Amino acid sequence: MDARQSDAPQTEAEWTRSEEEAIANGERIPPALGIEVDRDMGVGTYQIDYLIHPDEWPDDYGRAARVPDSEELRYPVPPEAFRTDDRMWDPIWYPLISYAEAQLAKTRFGSAKRKVVRVLFESPNGAVIHGKGLGEAVARAFALATGDDLDLSPGNVRTLFNAAQSLGRWGFIHIFSDIGSTIGGGEGTYLLTHTPLLREAMGGLLNKGWPEFADKVGSDPEPELDPADLKAKIDLWSPESVKEGRRSAIHYADSRTVGTTSAMVHPEEMGYPEQTFHLVTRNRVSMQGMTPSVAAFQLVSKIEAPSSLSQYTSRSGAAIAAVFDEMRGKGRPTNAEDVRAALGFLTTDDQIAVLEFVHQHLTPAAARKLRELQYGGLVGIDLTCAAVQAVTSGKKRRSHVLFQIRLLVGDIVRDLLSWQMGHYHASTVMTSGD
């Protein structure tokens, strides 16, 4: 029996803290990998056992009582962007530990593991890599990403294979093999993807200054926007400063969907819709460049709204307050009425964009029913609300749609405040040097 089902505090965070304290106090054994004992327990699941034989139990069995005997896990599935007809992705080296147990582990990221992570850092949605075996594929991808000399020595290839295998077994990455590419013993094609566990560890890896990430977090010898020029443009008191600040706020806001990344939503085995985000950093600026000091994942709406922020600058304070009150009254919306004020805040073009986004999540039967309502005279916000309600609630799809509306309007309101107060200056599109 899983101890978490009987003794656990109500929240996951509280359970994690209590188990960490128990480990520190010697009241339970540290987490360890289990052994796969059964496949296809359900649809796409497998079972792992943590404590197999009595002779493997600690002398003081009470310390092990908090550890689950076994758990049923779901096989990883590739992100939506990689599910194509020309690839047959098969999960390999999948986790032998649950996400909750893995959070308690003290994992050391040695050089080889950092190289595997660096390959993923280059391709946040997932990295497709090629080689005669997984180790060689990682070696080739790392050399390509960093410009380092390619090292295909047997020792290095084996070390990288072991590192990738370990990261997969401990749940930091998911590894897939294209079955078609490995037939015949030729060059194989592999897919590496993030998991929530790796994303939680990424900030710490970037902040430690490891050489594997030097080209991403170190100084840029030829930045497109020199720090000295950046400082010179922060002029608060000239007659042009307000105009400059507002121009920058509009440019920054209208670029909100640039460079977004999609991530699978935890728990991944539930198949929830993916969420887009920005990795936002706060940087220390010097004459040598910019060094990240704090990083956060900022969620970004998947709705591609065409209106510029300049089309919202005439919105009244009362309209903004109505949106804020609606958000405060309902933290996470559960039905269309929870976002009615938000929808009313949008321009007509952005309302149409929302409706088109909602249509993408309707079943054929629901779309046909919505067209009947439209022919019956339903229009505007009422039509959009009806469309939202027609989205199935299964796998959080309706919640996902509602949250994207909330994110879009929240971003617009935030950017309006920045526009009003002159928050941004010298907004520019940054490109990495060759």
Reported as a single tens digit per residue, the pLDDT across 86-113 is 788 889 999 999 888 888 887 778 888 8
- The span from the CA of 367 to the CA of 404, in Å, is 19
In which band, very low, low, confident or very high, does the pLDDT at 270 lie, cut at 50, 70 and 90?
A: confident
SS3 433: coil
pLDDT of residue 381: 92
Q: Which range, of 235-239, 319-323, 368-372, 401-405, averages the lowest pLDDT?
A: 235-239
Tokens of 40: 């296809």
Residue 36 confidence (pLDDT) above 80: yes
Sign of the torsion angle spanned by Cα atoms 39, 41, 42, 46: negative
Alpha carbon 261 to chain centroid distance?
7
In which band, very low, low, confident or very high, does the pLDDT at 202 lie, cut at 50, 70 and 90?
A: confident
Q: What is the mean pLDDT of the chain?
A: 78
Residue 342 confidence (pLDDT) above 80: yes
pLDDT of residue 209: 63
- Alpha-carbon distances of 78 from 178, 264, 297, 311, rounded to whole Å: 11, 9, 21, 39
pLDDT of residue 191: 92
pLDDT of residue 220: 37
Cis-peptide, bond into residue 267, ω within 30° of zero: yes
pLDDT of residue 51: 62
pLDDT of residue 413: 93
pLDDT of residue 182: 60
Tokens of 296: 């956060």
Pairing of strands 127-131, 173-178: unpaired
- Report the alpha-carbon angle 49-55-59, nearest 5: 105
Q: Which of 163, 166, 172 is nearest to 193 (CA)?
A: 172
